[in-house]
A and B are shown apart, each in its own frame.
Chain A
């Protein structure tokens, strides 16, 4: 039998060369991308850590209560206080800062991309495989180029998180806008609306519930990624999990994991309520 795989494609070498070429020639540009994220992340992180714990807990109570009712408010304050009592308050605040920074960037980039792809079938066709790749590539795979381009640390972790968690908000923005009933669009045009008016007065408001569902998923994905990001030196709740894994401290890994789960539940309930609230109106 002939071994048809005797000759292999040196794809691994090509990728290595490509990344090295990027690193060699564009590292300053990539470092520049880091800048605004770093500024935002540090500001949020500093603020959360500077604020007295009671104020942050109270904020969770009020936000949860206002958006999703007193039950969620109560659940939020109890969960966050519980995390604090396990001794992981500072890590939790860092994780929260990472998630907020990552999600802000995801929204700033993802919503416009979603709008664009809702307006152009061709753009959507090009974007779709990219989004598939972003979502399915194992997170560990792009940690390597991220480290090479952005070096290690919390900011690099946030960048990896952004890449991993952006697809849902793009997809659901696109979907939400495309789902707006064509009769409504036609009616809007019939009254002499411009394209921009159609977008802002009809498409975005009616897609908002779906966009919020995308935001919710983006937050959930980013929470799962910040743990992995601790592999490349990012701080936060991933650190105790990673440490626990390395030195078989099952208790440490356990409280770290529990902290992430509780925070995920709190953020999920709050953002989900935001989405359904839009829908009810």
Chain B
């Protein structure tokens, strides 16, 4: 596999995978070519299309969420990846190997070395202790007991459960049980961890906690997570990219904001009803560079005043040569400073507004809200190097909200 330093490393590639349930798939393929829908095909042939022409790639280190309503084929799709369900046709390439062509031995090898899975129902072994459960994948691999217990213990430490290693799963709460499931998935050190609605059976608080836990575990890791979910909030929270499935097809793949901004069809739009956009959009997503900026080394009070008058603006954003953010000056403050004749008009520092702190581009709109209401100027946005990325004004913020509201309105109009 090519390892290109600029683009992320590809882990898994799925090319037009199909799964057709219920006997000889040929008649269904014929009808698919005629462009028939899933329901029609079922009526005519009794064959159910589980997955319809799914193609996507997954990269090292990312969390790829496959989202869809129940019956959309997402659980089937994820099982095609480790062939718990045999794909009817298509190609699934892992580490340059087409796993659909593997014999039983090769498949067992792939499952042991490259993949692990976490289940909605936890699927812990009731006859084994927490430690033995966490070590289960290693036991199947044939790792010696001492070694596998060490690795399982490390995995339990990662999920904060080393203190209950000797208990049985039955005595643990749901959240703790799924941590054991997570530890079992982690202990084999997989390239790809498949998570099938892994947090769906947990109550909302624990669920958020587990999502944070997963994000923390993924930090700086090259492990790929393929996460199945029916919950948009969850997908938005943890997904680097999301694939949305509808009746067996993948209808859209993209980053969360991308899908939210340009939903491919009504089905995708429907998902976003009820989602609070202030939790989804990051500051950097909506910041604009429409404000007046001024380089610090040229900033004299009069020069800035002239520029502001020219553009009919109240505030100027002062930046260093390398575009690092320094501060904001306002027309009123410049005016006041100029009236004080003891001050050198080439020194702009007395004109800076006090208490203006830039916001990081990764902050959610929710987090900007307090600054947006208290600052007299639009909120400056910077990246991790303190480079100025633009500003967010109250007007822009409201516009963002209302655009999301428009999507909802058009949807309700159509349905009513």
- Residues of chain A having any CB pair with chain B under 8 Å: 181, 183-184, 186-194, 197, 201-202, 205-206, 281
Contacts and interface: CB of A to CB of B under 8 A. Distances in A.
Contacts of B125: 184, 202, 205-206
Between B113, B126, B136, B140, the greatest number of chain A beta carbons within 10 A of the residue's beta carbon is seen for B140
B111 A189 contact: yes
B155 interface: no
Contacts of A194: 108
Contacts of A281: 127, 168
B117 A190 contact: yes
Given A184-B125, A202-B125, A205-B127, A192 B84 contact: no
B127 A193 contact: no
Contacts of B115: 190
Interface string B397-411: 000000000000000
B123 A186 contact: yes
Nearest to B142: A197
Given A205-B127, A206-B126, A192 B141 contact: yes
Interface of B: 82, 84, 108-113, 115-117, 119, 121, 123, 125-127, 136-137, 139-141, 168, 184, 188, 194
A279 to B, nearest CB: 9
A181 B136 CA distance: 17
Contacts of B123: 181, 183-184, 186-187
B122 to A, nearest CB: 8
A192 B136 CA distance: 11
B148 to A, nearest CB: 12
29 contacts: A181-B123, A183-B119, A184-B125, A186-B84, A186-B123, A187-B123, A188-B136, A188-B140, A189-B84, A190-B82, A190-B84, A190-B115, A190-B117, A190-B194, A191-B116, A191-B117, A191-B137, A191-B140, A191-B141, A192-B109, A192-B111, A192-B112, A193-B108, A193-B140, A201-B140, A205-B125, A205-B127, A206-B126, A281-B127
Contacts of A183: 119, 121, 123
Contacts of B84: 186, 189-190
A194 B226 CA distance: 24
Contacts of B139: 201
Contacts of B141: 191-192
Nearest to A209: B127
Contacts of A190: 82, 84, 111, 115-117, 194
Nearest to A206: B127
Contacts of A192: 108-113, 137, 140-141
A281 B128 CA distance: 8
A192 B123 CA distance: 15
A121 B203 CA distance: 39
A206 B169 CA distance: 14
Given A191-B111, A201-B140, A206-B126, 4 more contacts: A188-B140, A191-B112, A201-B139, A205-B125
A27 B128 CA distance: 49
A207 to B, nearest CB: 10
Contacts of B116: 190-191
Nearest to B128: A205
A188 B139 CA distance: 11
Contacts of B119: 183, 186-187
A194 B84 CA distance: 13
A184 B124 CA distance: 7
Nearest to A195: B104
A165 to B, nearest CB: 28
A191 B116 CA distance: 6
Given A183-B119, A183-B121, A186-B84, A191 B126 contact: no
A191 B136 contact: yes
Contacts of B112: 191-192
A197 B142 CA distance: 10
A219 to B, nearest CB: 24
A194 B123 CA distance: 18
Nearest to B104: A194
A184 B116 CA distance: 14
The 6 closest A-B pairs by CB, nearest first: A192-B112, A192-B111, A187-B123, A190-B117, A191-B137, A183-B123
Nearest to A191: B137
Between A186, A190, A193, A202, the greatest number of chain B beta carbons within 10 A of the residue's beta carbon is seen for A190
Nearest to A187: B123
Contacts of B110: 192
B117 A187 contact: yes
A174 B123 CA distance: 21
A181 B169 CA distance: 15
A192 B127 CA distance: 20
A187 B177 CA distance: 15
A186 B126 CA distance: 15
A191 B188 contact: yes
Nearest to B188: A191
B198 to A, nearest CB: 12
A126 B338 CA distance: 103
A193 B127 CA distance: 17
Contacts of A191: 111-112, 116-117, 136-137, 140-141, 184, 188
Nearest to B168: A281
A153 B136 CA distance: 51
A252 to B, nearest CB: 48
Contacts of A197: 140
A207 B110 CA distance: 29
A49 to B, nearest CB: 39
Contacts of B168: 281
B99 to A, nearest CB: 12
Nearest to B139: A201
B36 to A, nearest CB: 31
Contacts of A201: 139-140
Contacts of A189: 84, 111
A184 B111 CA distance: 16
Contacts of A205: 125, 127
